[in-house]
C-alpha cells in the first residue's frame, strides 16, 4: 500500500505538490490523472525517494522508500523508459539489477519472456524503439516480483497490441493482490484499465474515487426514459429534485439521479415505462469537467 499524508513539494515560488493525502490499496489499479504540470511525475518521484518533500510523508508499506531493506522486491517502478545506459543490452541491464538486489538470474529470463523481449534482449538499449524500451522498463519493474508497482505513461510508444498487453498486465497484477499505480494521459485506456482514480490539478487533489463514481458524477451522465406519460413523469421527477429535459413527446432525459432512483419514482407514481437506460459519460468528458479550472498550459483553438 502507498500512503501519502500532507505531501508537499515546492520549487522556489512554484508549488508542484500541495498537501496531497491519499491511500492506494492492494488489489486495485489506480489511475493517476491530471493536466500537464499538475504534479503527477513529481508525486511519483517523492514516493520513490528521488526528491525530498518540503513537507508531509510518502510511505510504502508503512515506511519511507529509503528505509526499505530490499526495495526492488518491495516496489517496482517505470518513470522513464530511456533512463538506462544506451550501450548496454537489455539483458545486461536486467542482470546487473538482479545481481545488485540478490535476485536469481533465472528471473531475468522470466521477465524478458513476460514482456515479449526474448528476441531483442541482446540489443543495445540505445538502438531500441520507444515501445521496446517501455517493455524493458516494465521488465525491470517486475524483476523483484514486488507487491507495489508504479508506472508513469507505460503505453507511450507501444502499438495497439502492446497497449492491449499492458492493459491485461495491469489487471492481472492487481488481481494477484498488488498495488498498481498508473499515470496516464490516455483517458480511453485508463477507463478500460483502472478501478480507482486519483485526479490532481496544480498540485492539489481534485478527486479520489472509484472510476464508476467519477463517471456517474459527470453532468453528461444521464438517464434516458421513454414513456407515454412523459409530462406526468417530468413533474414527479422535478418534485423529487431530479433535473429533467424533454427529448420528444414520449422521451425524457433525467440528470442528478441514478437509474434506480428514476425507475423507483416512476413506479411510485404508477407511471408505465417503455424504456429506461443510462447514457454514460466518457471518462474524458468527466475528466475535462473536473480539471477545467486546473489547466495551466492550455492551447488556443485552431484559427484563433
What is the DSSP track for 105-162? Answer: THHHHHHHHHTT-GGGTTSBGGGS-HHHHHHHHHHHHHTT--SEEEEESTTTT--HHH
In contact, 93 and 125? CB cutoff 8 Å: yes
> What pLDDT score does 299 carry?
55
Q: 17: closest CA among 186, 146, 200?
A: 200
Kindly report the CATH class assigned to 2-210. alpha beta
Identify the pLDDT of residue 7. Answer: 97
Residue 6 predicted with pLDDT over 60: yes
Q: SS3 helix, strand, coil % of the chain, rounded to 5?
A: 35, 30, 35
**pLDDT for 54-65, tens place per residue?**
999 999 999 999
Residue 303: the pLDDT is: 47
Cα(41)–Cα(47) distance, integer angstroms: 10
pLDDT band per the 50, 70, 90 thresholds, residue 304: very low
Contact between 236 and 246 (Cβ < 8 Å)? no
CA gap 29, 181 in Å, rounded: 6
**Top-confidence residue, 273 or 216:** 273
Fold match, 2-210 / 222-279 = no
Q: How far, in Å, are 25, 28, 223, 249 from residue 269 at the CA level?
A: 43, 41, 17, 19
pLDDT attached to residue 228: 95
C-alpha cell at 166: 499492458
Higher pLDDT, 281 or 49: 49
The full set of domain ranges for the chain reads 2-210, 222-279
Q: Write down the pTM of the prediction.
A: 0.84
pLDDT-based confidence at residue 237 (cuts at 50, 70, 90) = very high
**Which whole number is the average pLDDT over 286-303?**
71
Q: How confident is the model at residue 177 (pLDDT cuts 50, 70, 90)?
A: very high
Sheet holding 2-11, edge to edge: 14-24, 2-11, 55-60
Are 118 and 89 in contact by the 8 Å Cβ rule? The answer is no
Least confident among 126-130, 167-171, 236-240? 126-130
Q: Tell me phi and psi for residue 158, to 5 degrees.
A: -85, 145
Asked if the model's pLDDT at residue 146 lies above 90, the reply is yes
Kindly report the number of other CB atoms within 10 A of residue 283's CB atom: 23
Predicted pLDDT at 300: 54
Task: Return the pLDDT at 126.
Answer: 86
Q: What is the pLDDT of residue 297?
A: 58
Distance CA 99, CA 76 (A): 16
C-alpha cell, 168: 491485461
Say if residue 298's pLDDT is above 60.
Answer: no
Query: Which of these CATH numbers, 3.30.70, 1.10.287, 1.25.40, 3.40.1000, describes 222-279?
Result: 3.30.70
Most confident of 90-104, 116-130, 283-297: 90-104
What's the confidence (pLDDT) of residue 206?
Answer: 95
Mean of pLDDT values over 177-188: 94
pLDDT of residue 269: 95
Average pLDDT in the 260-271 region?
A: 95
Assess whether pLDDT exceeds 70 at residue 169: yes
What integer pLDDT is reported at residue 216 of this predicted model?
82
Whole-number average pLDDT of the chain: 91
Amino acid at each position: 500500500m502507498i500512503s501519502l499524508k500532507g505531501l508537499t513539494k515546492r520549487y522556489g515560488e512554484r508549488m508542484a505538490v500541495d498537501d496531497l493525502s491519499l491511500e492506494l490499496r492492494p488489489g486495485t489499479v489506480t489511475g493517476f490523472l491530471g493536466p500537464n504540470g499538475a504534479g503527477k511525475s513529481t508525486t511519483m518521484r517523492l514516493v520513490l525517494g528521488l526528491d525530498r518533500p518540503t513537507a508531509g510523508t510518502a510511505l510504502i508499506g508503512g515506511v519511507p522508500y529509503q528505509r526499505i531493506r530490499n526495495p526492488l522486491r518491495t516496489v517496482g517502478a517505470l518513470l522513464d523508459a530511456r533512463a538506462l545506459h544506451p550501450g548496454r543490452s537489455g539483458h545486461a541491464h536486467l542482470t546487473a539489477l538482479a545481481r545488485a538486489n540478490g535476485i536469481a538470474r533465472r528471473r531475468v529470463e522470466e521477465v524478458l519472456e513476460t514482456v515479449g523481449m526474448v528476441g531483442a534482449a541482446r540489443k543495445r538499449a540505445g538502438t531500441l524503439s520507444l515501445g521496446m524500451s517501455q517493455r524493458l522498463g516494465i521488465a525491470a519493474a517486475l524483476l523483484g516480483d514486488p507487491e507495489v508497482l508504479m508506472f508513469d505513461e507505460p503505453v507511450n510508444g507501444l502499438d495497439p497490441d502492446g497497449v492491449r498487453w499492458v492493459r491485461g498486465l495491469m489487471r492481472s497484477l492487481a488481481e494477484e493482490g498488488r498495488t498498481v499505480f498508473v499515470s496516464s494521459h490516455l483517458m480511453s485506456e485508463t477507463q478500460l484499465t483502472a478501478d480507482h482514480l486519483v485526479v490532481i490539478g496544480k498540485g492539489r487533489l481534485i478527486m479520489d474515487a472509484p472510476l464508476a463514481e467519477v463517471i456517474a458524477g459527470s453532468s453528461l451522465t444521464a438517464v434516458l426514459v421513454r414513456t407515454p406519460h412523459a409530462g406526468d413523469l417530468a413533474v414527479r421527477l422535478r418534485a423529487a429534485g431530479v433535473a429533467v429535459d424533454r427529448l420528444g413527446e414520449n422521451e425524457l432525459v433525467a440528470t442528478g439521479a441514478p437509474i434506480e432512483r428514476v425507475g423507483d419514482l416512476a413506479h411510485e407514481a404508477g407511471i408505465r415505462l417503455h424504456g429506461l437506460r443510462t447514457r454514460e459519460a466518457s471518462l474524458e468528458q468527466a475528466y475535462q469537467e473536473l480539471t477545467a479550472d486546473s489547466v495551466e498550459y492550455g492551447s488556443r483553438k485552431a484559427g484563433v
